[in-house]
């Protein structure tokens, strides 16, 4: 999972429009996968550090809690219904969002697009 988040970090550096969208986003986000904690710290749209938990000393703005199987499905090119969006994960009971949800919603497009940087690429022509 750590490798996937590092892949997202690298991809984000190569995605100028997302860096532009995230230029006002400087927060630490907790991603909890089956109880394993990953702290992604954003600085003006860049992921400047990825730290593994557990940590009681690291403040975070909001958290996405889910499981590895759900994320694996989320990152498929054409996810099944419900696995196609973080709010879908919440809706089908495979995810939970905690913390400052308004901060997430204000930066929702940026955050969702960053997470999908790990989504498998596939020719989506119907």
Partner 1 sequence: MSIEPITGRYLTVEIEGAPRRIYFEEAGQGRPVVCLHTAGADTRQWRHLMNDAGITASHRLIAFDMPWHGKSLPPEGFETQEYLLTTEAYIETVLAVIDGLGLDRPVLAGCSMGGRIALQLAALHADKFSGFIAIEASDFQPAWYDIDWFHRPDAHGGEMGAALVSANISPYAPDAERWNTLWMFMQSGPGVFRGDLSFYTRDDSLIPRLPTINTAKTPVHIIVGAYDLTCTPEDAARTAKAIPGATLAVMDELGHFPMSEHPEGFRPFFVEALEKMPKSTSAAA
Interface residue list for partner 1 (CB under 8 A): 77-79, 81-82, 84-88, 90-91, 101-102, 105-106, 108-109, 112, 124-126
The nearest distance, CB 109 to partner 1, in angstroms, is: 4
Nearer residue to partner 1 within complex by CB, 14 or 126 = 126
Residue 74, helix vs strand vs coil: helix
Could you tell me which residues are beta bridge partners of residue 65?
A: 32, 96
Q: Which helix (H) or strand (E) holds 28?
A: strand 28-33
Dihedral sign computed on CA atoms, order 34, 39, 44, 47: negative
Nearer residue to partner 1 within complex by CB, 6 or 78 = 78
The nearest distance, CB 70 to partner 1, in angstroms, is: 15
């Amino acid at each position: 999972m750590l490798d996937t988040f590092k892949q997202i970090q690298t991809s984000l550096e190569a995605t100028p429009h997302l860096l532009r969208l995230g230029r006002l986003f400087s927060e630490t986000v907790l991603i909890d996968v089956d109880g394993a904690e990953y702290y992604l710290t954003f600085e003006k749209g860049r992921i400047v550090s990825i730290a593994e938990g557990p940590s009681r000393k690291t403040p975070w703005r909001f958290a996405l809690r889910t499981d590895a199987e759900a994320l694996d499905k989320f990152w498929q090119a054409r996810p099944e219904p419900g696995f196609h969006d973080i709010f879908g994960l919440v809706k089908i009971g495979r995810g939970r969002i905690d913390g400052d949800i308004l901060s997430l919603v204000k930066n929702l497009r940026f955050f969702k697009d960053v997470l999908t940087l790990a989504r498998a690429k596939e020719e989506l022509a119907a």
